[in-house]
Amino acid sequence: MKGHERDTISTDSTSLKSPVVLSLALHLLILAVALAGWSWTNPVQEPEPRSIAARLISPEPEPSPLVDDQDQRKKDQELKEKQRQKAEAERKRIQQEEAQREAEKKAQELARKQEQLKEQERKRQEAQAKQKAEQQARAKEAARKKAEAEAKERERQKAEQERKRQEQVKRKALEEKKRQEELRRKEEAERQRKEEEARKAAEQKRQEAERRLREQQLNALAEEAKKAQENEARKQREAQAARAREAQMLTDSQKYQALIRERLSQAWYPPSSATENMTARLQITLLPTGELASVTLVSSSGNTAFDNSALGAVRSLKRYPVPDNRDSFERYFRQFTIEFNPQRLR
């Protein structure tokens, strides 16, 4: 707008001196207005500490003093702005009237001069008048434009206010939205948490199930191991029993061996020719009843009387003491060898 005005002025300055002055004055006026506007804006900051101070001494802080304060400040600002604008407008109107009067004075002077020069410059006067009219028109136009601009400005401010309100609404909406979003987020978080919980629960459940399964498997394994162990123990018991039987048989066998030895010792009359290095071996076969089935001299002592004494001893037993246990009998006493070898001769 200013550029346009300057353009206009510069085009005017090239044409006449008075327009230049006029524009200069206008400029000055504008500058003054701007300066006034600037000087106005400065003290606007002043009331703030008061509001803060007021807040400080208030016994109970307002629930949302900042927002209200801001609103208040804004309102104040708006009010001030309106007042300022009103004053501005008044001042401008006065200035304009003064300028108008100045201009009219100048114009009267000029007219007088021109009256003097009427003849010479009737045409130019005309032109000038015309120009003046034009200028007036232009000023009018400018005023109008200015009013327009001011209206526009008002409009703009209104729009600005509207915009701000809108923005506020928007912000509120945004805040609302944010709140909503926050809520949603929270809900989402809650949902996620729940989901997580559910997932965790499911996981736990799964783990539990797995654990149970594993436990069952372990139990099964343990059971199996126990069975195996029991089986082994049973086998060992059986083996032990078998060994015990074996030992029993051996013990039996030894018992019966001792009995046979005793009976044969009693029945054996080593001949007087016997010496300690004489040995006769006889193989004997028994019936399970203990009766002698057969006897053979498998190794002679070299002394007939000695051999005969051994044979006689073996044959003298009517019944050999043998175990009733058939296994034991078969293993040890069905057939065995008797060795006659005197160690202690009379």
Partner 1 sequence: MLMTRKSSNANLKRNMVLFGWLMVMLMAASAARAELLIRITEGANAAIPVAVVPFAESGVMPAGDKVSNIVQADLTMSGEFQLLAPEKMLSLPSKRSEVYFRDWRLLGQRYVLVGELTRSGQRVEARYELFDVNREQRILGETAGASASNIRSLAHHISDRVYETITGEPGVFSTKLAYITLTTSGNESVYRLQVSDIDGQRSKIRLESREPILSPAWSPDGKKLAYVSFETGKPVIFIHELATGKRTKAADFPGLNSAPAWSPDGQSLLMTLSRDGNAEIYQMNLASGKTTKLTNHWAIDTEAAWDHAGRGIFFTSDRSGGPQIYYMERPGAEPRRLTFGSRYNARARPDSKGEYVYYIHQRQNTFHIARRNLKTDEESIITRTGSDESPSVSPNGRMLIYSTQQDGKGVLTVVSADGGAAYSLPASEGEVREPAWGPISR
Task: Report phi then psi at 294, rounded to 5.
Answer: -160, 160
DSSP 319: S
One-letter identity of residue 6: R
Query: Please, what sign has the CA dihedral across residues 191, 197, 201, 202?
Result: positive
The nearer residue to partner 1, 139 or 284, going by C-beta atoms, is 284
R_g of the chain computed on alpha carbons: 72
- Smallest separation (angstroms) from partner 1 to the CB of 332: 5
DSSP output for 33-49: HHHHHHHHHGGGGTHHH
Identify the burial level of 253 via C-beta atoms within 10 angstroms of its C-beta, where 0-12 means exposed, 13-18 middle and 19 or more buried.
Answer: buried
Query: Please, what sign has the CA dihedral across residues 282, 286, 291, 295?
Result: negative
The footprint of partner 1 (CB under 8 A) covers: 221, 224, 228, 231, 235, 239, 242, 246, 253, 257, 260-261, 264-274, 283, 303-306, 308-316, 318, 331-333, 335-346
The nearer residue to partner 1, 166 or 266, going by C-beta atoms, is 266
The nearer residue to partner 1, 149 or 292, going by C-beta atoms, is 292
Whether the CB-CB separation of 280 and 296 falls below 8 Å is answered with no
- Smallest separation (angstroms) from partner 1 to the CB of 257: 6
Give dist(CA 288, CA 329) in Å, integer. 7
- Smallest separation (angstroms) from partner 1 to the CB of 208: 23
- Smallest separation (angstroms) from partner 1 to the CB of 206: 23
In this structure, what token pair is assigned to residue 224? 């199996």
Query: Please, what sign has the CA dihedral across residues 252, 258, 261, 264?
Result: negative
Whether the CB-CB separation of 289 and 324 falls below 8 Å is answered with no
- Smallest separation (angstroms) from partner 1 to the CB of 207: 22
Whether the CB-CB separation of 273 and 303 falls below 8 Å is answered with yes
The nearer residue to partner 1, 131 or 340, going by C-beta atoms, is 340
Nearest partner of 305 among 334, 330, 273, 336, judged by Cα: 273
The nearer residue to partner 1, 108 or 217, going by C-beta atoms, is 217
- Smallest separation (angstroms) from partner 1 to the CB of 277: 11
The nearer residue to partner 1, 83 or 304, going by C-beta atoms, is 304
- Smallest separation (angstroms) from partner 1 to the CB of 195: 38
The nearer residue to partner 1, 14 or 272, going by C-beta atoms, is 272
- Smallest separation (angstroms) from partner 1 to the CB of 336: 4
Nearest partner of 342 among 259, 283, 271, judged by Cα: 271
Give dist(CA 194, CA 189) in Å, integer. 8
Give dist(CA 72, CA 54) in Å, integer. 13
The nearer residue to partner 1, 107 or 260, going by C-beta atoms, is 260
- Smallest separation (angstroms) from partner 1 to the CB of 209: 21
Q: How far is CA 346 from CA 270, 279, 293, in A?
A: 9, 17, 32
The nearer residue to partner 1, 9 or 333, going by C-beta atoms, is 333
